[in-house]
Structure 1
């Protein structure tokens, strides 16, 4: 015997805390959307408050599921695919509904969604060459988007509501800039593996 046999880690079960939280986020998307619709064009403050709280809870599951997956080694192929889908579904639903009810210009929704879908597609395009990890800019982008959407959803007094477009403008700028950064990373990754 030449030494200790290498240990093989047991496979990570698909039904784990991180994946359950991702599933909860996906399930909250239609609940959130129905609550926004029930707000009657974003007029009924009680329903708007409920929609905002549902969005905030669903967004929080994104932070928690990633931390749990990394902390306890619960990263699965399903989680790698489902997590970004859940994120885009939640953010996309919020942006589309805000634009539908004339709270947010459609070009903002289009710019963010095109970037998000494009980068998600780009990640899948290069996945066999490696993983494009979320950068600090990407995390800042996510935080700004969540903050801006939450600001728009919450029934703010007029004096405070005017801050929302500034937060959203910052979110759009960071979203676009980080999009270019991810494209550069993907091209470098493919170039290195050729």
Structure 2
């Protein structure tokens, strides 16, 4: 199991839901945001809901320091900028989990269609942009943010994991399996 997990974009719906569930499973979570104040507020809200857990809020580049696993949970339109801003912070010791879904949003903010990604997928784009040596896997695309955040709801979901190294997928699968009702499924390479 990872000693701590950072969720970049942990103030958003999916990231916050993952933080709650990981905290409930006993995993220390660092919530990252572009704004340290928002990250600290999210960590405080998470601690109110899961009192026995350890949550910390930090600015993204500081948040990844000390984490073994970094989950990138940002809107697709922010993926490139976020990874560019993290280039100095991410190291070969990090396993980067891309949870980005390439969706176009309408004026109302609702997803309207998927976007084509030149590299093939959002995870492949993240892999191309990540600093050399940073391993990338893809996961959490099929898990409902609303259900993750509803701690009264018993989960019953598969987490599809793609990655080019079996050891990296296994490391993430061990974390996924800590969350009751989630099942890790190895779905092959990026």
TM-score norm. by structure 2 comes to: 0.28
Is the strand fraction higher in 1 or 2?
2
Is the helix fraction higher in 1 or 2?
1
Higher relative contact order (CA 8 A, sep 6+): 1
TM-score norm. by structure 1 comes to: 0.27
Larger radius of gyration: 1
